[in-house]
Structure 1
């Protein structure tokens, strides 16, 4: 699809991967709308962008999702790309009885999965009015294999992965709507700092890969180490009946 002249809404767009994507697409001549929970962080991020706007709100809260979708409809009727990037992750030791594992998992599932389903449904009518539109769901290398440190986070991203595949199949015959899935590995961001993010790749590398993939309508977008696993698994999945 085209990679210039678009209007993008990016959740979690005030820092990390979201801000890197905002910068990349902004520099290519796209209108950027960033979203985040902190107004202060949003205003700081806007200083790094050209003629971008911000909509404050927590997409894990249904009332905020409805409000933001309505604001997009009323004030940004040319919106044609949403990037569902905001996420939640907790170190979750399942062997610790005092860890509140279910509470952490609930927050992850709500933010990384349920809220994305709802927000996508709320914005779909507007996207389907456009000649060229896209939904980008940011999942993770964790969809392929969980571990003892992030078991419930990995499960929430695996759920998002399967939802994204179903969404893509649902609109496979709708020529003007494309559904992308971005699979970052460990990325050096504040978000991933507790799990060794300093050893990860730069957020700009993730943004570059997404931009290149959208230019060539490559709907599966593995990045860095995710490419190795994706290359092994995806041919098997694609060979299965949908």
Structure 2
């Protein structure tokens, strides 16, 4: 699909992957709108990026989502790309955490249910456009769970499954293309507490996404995600061990 002259909504666009994607796409002549809960962060990001608008919205709150939809319809009725990037993660060991269920509910609410809700509400608008796209940001852990982020991994696995179903559902009767961005660990504020010496830059992820949009590569398996995906297809139990750097017994 074309990567210029679009109108693009990026949730969680004030930092990390969302910010770097907004930067690249705004430089390519797109109108970009970023959302998030923190107005100060969004305002600073928009000022730094230039041709970028911001709307304060918490995608887990129905009132905020409805207000966001109305603002988009009013001021950005040519919206043709939605990037579901906002996320939440808790680090814990699922077998020992007394709050595992609470963490799981909150992560699922942000990483899965909010995506389904916002996408469903914006699809009628996206379907009106000559060319449109939904971009869901999942993760390498959609294929193999990380032991330090087990319930987050489950929420991304759910998002991966939903994204595939949405793509198939829209394939015949819609101009809406469905992309899934699957990065490994990325060096952002979001992942600062996740121990790893192999994090990649958010710029690399954004660049890979833009290339994939241009070539209609619908499953964007960034860097080490591609190798893990191959392991998952050939031997799923091995993929879990590789991801967590565990020795097979």
TM-score (norm 1): 0.93
| Residue matched to 1:111 | 110
Structure 1 residue 33, shift from structure 2 partner? 0.1
Structure 1 residue 62, shift from structure 2 partner? 1.5
Structure 1 residue 51, shift from structure 2 partner? 2.1
| Residue matched to 1:17 | 17
Equivalent position SS for 2:203: helix
| Residue matched to 1:164 | 163
Is 1:94 aligned to 2:100, yes or no?
A: no
Q: Deviations over 1:98-156 (max 9, x none)?
A: x3111111000000000100100110010000000000000000011113211100000
The question of whether the paired residues in 2 share the 8 Å contact of 1:189 and 1:198 is answered with no
Structure 1 residue 158, shift from structure 2 partner? 0.1
CA distance in structure 1 between the aligned counterparts of 2:182 and 2:56, rounded to whole angstroms: 26
Runs of 4+ in structure 1 over 3 Å off = 231-236
CA distance in structure 1 between the aligned counterparts of 2:191 and 2:65, rounded to whole angstroms: 25
Give 1:109-188 correspondences, 5 Å limit: 109-188=108-187
Structure 1 residue 234, shift from structure 2 partner? 6.3
CA distance in structure 2 between the aligned counterparts of 1:105 and 1:88, rounded to whole angstroms: 10
CA distance in structure 2 between the aligned counterparts of 1:232 and 1:146, rounded to whole angstroms: 13
The question of whether the paired residues in 1 share the 8 Å contact of 2:69 and 2:122 is answered with yes
Change (3 A) 1:173 1:158: same
The question of whether the paired residues in 2 share the 8 Å contact of 1:31 and 1:52 is answered with yes
CA distance in structure 2 between the aligned counterparts of 1:50 and 1:198, rounded to whole angstroms: 33
Structure 1 residue 96, shift from structure 2 partner? 2.6
The question of whether the paired residues in 1 share the 8 Å contact of 2:144 and 2:232 is answered with no
Q: Deviations over 1:46-77 (max 9, x none)?
A: 12212210000110111111111121111100
CA distance in structure 2 between the aligned counterparts of 1:57 and 1:180, rounded to whole angstroms: 23
Structure 1 residue 175, shift from structure 2 partner? 4.8
The question of whether the paired residues in 1 share the 8 Å contact of 2:127 and 2:174 is answered with no
| Residue matched to 2:201 | 202
Structure 1 residue 83, shift from structure 2 partner? 0.2
Q: Please, which runs of 5 or more residues in structure 2 have no aligned partner?
A: 236-249
- Measured on the aligned residues, the alpha-carbon RMSD in Å equals 1.6
| Residue matched to 1:240 | none
TM-score (norm 2): 0.90
Q: Please, which runs of 5 or more residues in structure 1 have no aligned partner?
A: 237-242
Change (3 A) 1:103 1:134: same
CA distance in structure 2 between the aligned counterparts of 1:20 and 1:220, rounded to whole angstroms: 19
| Residue matched to 1:225 | 224
CA distance in structure 2 between the aligned counterparts of 1:172 and 1:43, rounded to whole angstroms: 37
Q: Deviations over 1:196-229 (max 9, x none)?
A: 3674100000000000000011101010110112
